[in-house]
A and B are shown apart, each in its own frame.
Chain A
Amino acid sequence: MEQSLTPIHPSALLNAERLQCLFAGSEFLTVRLVKDNNETIVGAVAYHNILVDEKNVIQQFIRKINEDLHQMTGHRDVNLITSLDSLGGGKELRHMETAADLILDAGAAVFIEGLSEAFGFMFPGYETRSIDEPKIEVNVRGPRESFIEDLNTNLSMIIRKLKTPDLKAKPYIIGSQSRTRVMLLYLESRTDSQVVQEVQRRLEAISLDILIVNTQIEELIQDSTYSPFPQLFNTERPDRVVTALNRGKIAILTDGTPIALLTPTTFFEMLHPSEDLYERFYFANFLRIIRVLTLFISLFGPALYIALTTFHLEMIPTPLMLAFISAKAGIPFPTFVEAIIMEVAFEVLREASLRLPRAVGQSVSIVGALIIGEAAVQSGIVSRPMVIVVAMTGIASFTIPSYSTAIAFRMLRFPMMLLAAWSGVLGLSLGLLILLSHLCSLHSCGIPFLEPVDLGRFKDTVKKYILLPVKFRRSANEPSGDAAAKRSMGGVLPEGRNDG
């Protein structure tokens, strides 16, 4: 972007030759010259023959231009422009580089003899995936569409749900080679302008050769590089993005990635699936509480078992202790080794069932679970309570809706087990302390990651965590700071627009 731009030359032929020079060495560029009755060149059409729907370009575009040229009388430039106007959707191009960008983005550039500007028309001729059901964030009552790889389709899914001019979109092109389109979306009246500026600043600072997945953006704009926790929320659900935009978040959509990034986000938002908003609030709240519980189980399950059964035998109720004693008889490994064996086996299984072809994957997980669970117990390598603990922990980790957060907890389970084997509950408290202080230090685009947890204002914390019935919910959505002020001045919509 720093290099100086070449303006478009009035000679269409020269422009076409320049483009051919730019694309020399590949067979992808097609240039067609448009001539009038006198066989003089009036213009040139250049397009990428792989990306563009060639049939469409030739039949509907070049043919129409030719026909118009032959029928009309008068000044040929004016004729050509009128003809192009009638097609609609043209983009004015002033530099050769933008023309090249357009061609690489499945467009056709039209140069007109004598004009130092060109016109671009989009003719995408490549196949894209059709809109599918969500695969990661499955739900029962909510909408069943998820993002695809095509940015425009994704944008349309969002805009269909947010029909307001308040929705601002700022395009970016990231990647010097991949030239990937990235779109920043936010609702102006709801979003803190400082946060928007900050995100824009970070996006502009990105320098990459190739941008394929938005994880690259996520890594480059997050606040803390070495944290195991994702500081940007990622979702494949348009409805989730719309809800987040309405709450003053910023969405970042990337062409080629069927997942949107949301920022600023908080730890607890990662624990709530969008399903929460679609269920009755009793049930949603019950699940929110359950999810905090499963979070702790998935982090501390095996570690707590190790700590209790090797250091704090007095903490286990006697009847349970009797059951443990009888189950542990004859097991050759210490509890910690047993736990490591089972946890590693579980992770291997999970990874295997994820990577294998879908048809095989299912059977691997079932057979693997049967073999590892039953055979290990039968042959006396692992005790039954350990199998239960590991299975329970595994299942608990599946209840965390954000996959990236769940991975972080899966990983942190191992250091916790180490600490538990080192010094029991004391070690666990140490681990929890380190983890909490780390979480407290995290920020997501300037917003504390642990929002709204504030032990000084425990009541407010609970109020914000618990979902109220819809008619009282408004206050929880209320944006803060200058955005709120803007809204109170009536900046959202002019009256009456809601009627249409």
Chain B
Amino acid sequence: MFYLKGAMTGRTKFKGLIAMISLAVCLSGCSPDMTEISEIAMVMAFGIDYDTESRKYTVTSYSVVPSALSAKDSGKLSEWVISAKGDSILEASKNLRSRSGRILIWQHNKFVLVGETAARRAFFEIVDFLNRNRQIRMTSYLLVSEGKAIDKLNDNVETEDLLSNDLLGKVRNEKEWGKSVSQILQDIANWYPNPYRGFVTGRIGISKLPDGSRDALVLNGGAVIDKGKFKAWLDGERVIAVQLLSDKSKWGMLEFARSFEFQSSQVSLFFRVEHQRIDSRCREGKPEIDIRLTLSATMGEIDHQLPLGNPETIVKLEQAASDEIEKLVRESVAYYQKVLKSDILGFSERFAQYYPDDWEMLQKEWGSVYPVMPVSVHAKVKVEKMGMVKYTGVD
């Protein structure tokens, strides 16, 4: 005790000893905040379902526990799925403890799967619960499940990897094909209180393997959430435009493929976005959106020989590719405007920020203005690489 300067008498020594011993009360086993790592079950994903008849929530946790209780076969982990019902999500998640002999640790949770019914009926409560809870990280992904969430969690993964790792890999792969989009809780929490805009998050479903032997979890398409509840499914083709027109974190690394007809050949290119710009304008109270995209493309495959050595062919190919992208974006945006009638790209936020005076007027009739708002799309594609194969270009 270097800080105790000066001589210590027998009495102060004794007092010091007592103080030291009393400190031991705070040690291992006595402190309420302590969680021994050998007593926990790590929740890696959990699902929330809602039953409209009984008006009860079901919370299903997918957790990881060590598979053996002796050190000899340590190193193995096993998956463990339990579920419990309750009148609220909090109650259901507390009721989970009746099934669990271990301390459930939620900090490492990566996915929240919301059942279709739950997303339709109680999306607000779910997001509210997730935001309020201290143990759930805002970087978890929220996915809407086709059918019930509990079925997805009970499903075996093809690769025999942990379900959460498998899903995490699938989310990571989204930027390689673009037909699925998952959102983290943080973004959802930012968007969902806004009554004027909607958003798209991931859609998880089950698809049978071609031979019909096993089910596999798939992330494909998206789920449209509007005005605080689930509105519609979006298929993969329509999701690409969502990625293209979101912020750079989505399109920056995106790589997607399109095939189209060119000079009576079927041409497949894969694209990367170089530059994206969305301008909003308000002329005499009439809102307009102008979308400009610059993309680079690489030749993927052709089913006939083309005179690719000829610069004119390249120019024509680039024109055709630009038309294709413009068509894709224009049709998708029209779909969001006219069919979904949901501002999933957040155009309303642009007007609120850049034209606050006009927005005062606009917001009252946004529901009727949005579907008919003119959106112009300009795409410029530059074909940079033809791939490894070189044709002479002679017809």
Interface, chain A (partner B; CB < 8 A): 224, 226-228, 309-311, 313-314, 318, 321-322, 324-331, 334-337, 377-380, 383-384, 418, 421-424, 434, 438
CB pair B71–A329 under 8 Å, yes or no, is yes
CB pair B3–A226 under 8 Å, yes or no, is yes
CB pair A380–B37 under 8 Å, yes or no, is no
CB pair A329–B66 under 8 Å, yes or no, is yes
Q: Given contacts A377-B71, A380-B72, A422-B31, is CB(A318)–CB(B108) below 8 Å?
A: yes
Asked whether any CB of chain A lies closer than 8 Å to the CB of B310, the reply is no
Asked whether any CB of chain A lies closer than 8 Å to the CB of B391, the reply is no
Docked CA distance A330–B77 (Å): 13
- Cβ of A380: which chain B residues have Cβ within 8 Å of it? 70-72
CB pair B40–A322 under 8 Å, yes or no, is no
Which of B28, B42, B64 gathers the greatest number of chain A CB atoms within 10 Å?
A: B28
CB pair B110–A318 under 8 Å, yes or no, is yes
- Cβ of A331: which chain B residues have Cβ within 8 Å of it? 38, 71
- Cβ of B389: which chain A residues have Cβ within 8 Å of it? none
Docked CA distance A384–B67 (Å): 17
- Cβ of B77: which chain A residues have Cβ within 8 Å of it? 322, 325-326
Docked CA distance A373–B33 (Å): 30
Q: How far is the CB of B71 from chain A (nearest CB, A)?
A: 3
Which residue of chain B has its CB nearest to the CB of A408? B2
CB pair A322–B33 under 8 Å, yes or no, is no
Which of B55-75 touch A at CB < 8 Å? 64-72, 74-75
CB pair A311–B2 under 8 Å, yes or no, is no
CB pair A325–B42 under 8 Å, yes or no, is yes
CB pair B38–A337 under 8 Å, yes or no, is no
CB pair B33–A330 under 8 Å, yes or no, is no
Q: How far is the CB of B113 from chain A (nearest CB, A)?
A: 18
Could you pull out 30 A-B pairs where Cβ atoms are within 8 angstroms? A226-B1, A226-B2, A226-B3, A310-B28, A310-B37, A311-B34, A313-B105, A313-B108, A314-B107, A314-B108, A314-B135, A318-B42, A325-B40, A328-B37, A328-B66, A329-B66, A329-B68, A329-B74, A330-B66, A331-B71, A336-B27, A336-B28, A383-B74, A384-B74, A421-B27, A422-B26, A422-B31, A423-B33, A424-B33, A438-B2
Which residue of chain B has its CB nearest to the CB of A379? B71
Main SS of chain B's interface residues?
Answer: loop
- Cβ of A321: which chain B residues have Cβ within 8 Å of it? 42, 108
Which of A224, A380, A434 gathers the greatest number of chain B CB atoms within 10 Å?
A: A380
Asked whether any CB of chain A lies closer than 8 Å to the CB of B53, the reply is no
In this complex, how many residues of chain B approach chain A with their Cβ under 8 Å: the count is 40
Q: Given contacts A313-B40, A325-B42, is CB(A228)–CB(B2) below 8 Å?
A: yes
Which of B37, B44, B75 gathers the greatest number of chain A CB atoms within 10 Å?
A: B37
Docked CA distance A418–B23 (Å): 9
Q: Which of A327, A378, A421, A424 contacts B75 (CB 8 A)?
A: A327
CB pair A326–B4 under 8 Å, yes or no, is no
Q: Which of B2, B28, B67 contacts A334 (CB 8 A)?
A: B28
- Cβ of A383: which chain B residues have Cβ within 8 Å of it? 71, 74
Docked CA distance A336–B29 (Å): 10
Asked whether any CB of chain A lies closer than 8 Å to the CB of B172, the reply is no
- Cβ of A328: which chain B residues have Cβ within 8 Å of it? 37-38, 66
CB pair A325–B37 under 8 Å, yes or no, is yes
CB pair A421–B28 under 8 Å, yes or no, is yes
- Cβ of A378: which chain B residues have Cβ within 8 Å of it? 71-72
Docked CA distance A326–B3 (Å): 42
Asked whether any CB of chain A lies closer than 8 Å to the CB of B284, the reply is no
Q: Which of A314, A318, A330 contacts B70 (CB 8 A)?
A: A330
Asked whether any CB of chain A lies closer than 8 Å to the CB of B133, the reply is no
Contact with A along B78-118 (1 / 0, CB 8 A): 00000000000000000000000000010110100000000
Q: How far is the CB of B122 from chain A (nearest CB, A)?
A: 27
Q: Given contacts A228-B2, A334-B28, A421-B28, is CB(A329)–CB(B69) below 8 Å?
A: yes
- Cβ of A438: which chain B residues have Cβ within 8 Å of it? 2-3
CB pair A311–B27 under 8 Å, yes or no, is no
CB pair B108–A334 under 8 Å, yes or no, is no
- Cβ of A318: which chain B residues have Cβ within 8 Å of it? 42, 44, 108, 110
Q: Given contacts A227-B2, A311-B35, is CB(A325)–CB(B66) below 8 Å?
A: yes
Docked CA distance A228–B2 (Å): 7
- Cβ of B74: which chain A residues have Cβ within 8 Å of it? 326-327, 329-330, 383-384
- Cβ of B64: which chain A residues have Cβ within 8 Å of it? 322, 325
Q: How far is the CB of B25 from chain A (nearest CB, A)?
A: 10
Q: How far is the CB of A487 from chain B (nearest CB, A)?
A: 38
A313-B40, A322-B64, A423-B33 are known; give 5 further A-B pairs, CB within 8 A: A326-B67, A326-B74, A329-B69, A330-B38, A335-B28
Which residue of chain B has its CB nearest to the CB of A327? B74
- Cβ of A227: which chain B residues have Cβ within 8 Å of it? 2
- Cβ of B132: which chain A residues have Cβ within 8 Å of it? none
Which of B1-18 touch A at CB < 8 Å? 1-5
- Cβ of B44: which chain A residues have Cβ within 8 Å of it? 318
Which residue of chain A has its CB nearest to the CB of B26? A422
Q: Given contacts A325-B66, A326-B76, A378-B71, is CB(A313)–CB(B28) below 8 Å?
A: no
Which of A310, A311, A325, A418 gathers the greatest number of chain B CB atoms within 10 Å?
A: A325
Which residue of chain A has its CB nearest to the CB of B77? A326
Which residue of chain A has its CB nearest to the CB of B36? A334
Q: How far is the CB of A222 from chain B (nearest CB, A)?
A: 12
Q: Given contacts A322-B77, A325-B77, is CB(A226)–CB(B4) below 8 Å?
A: yes
Q: How far is the CB of A338 from chain B (nearest CB, A)?
A: 10
Docked CA distance A421–B77 (Å): 27
- Cβ of B135: which chain A residues have Cβ within 8 Å of it? 314
Docked CA distance A336–B23 (Å): 14
Docked CA distance A310–B39 (Å): 10
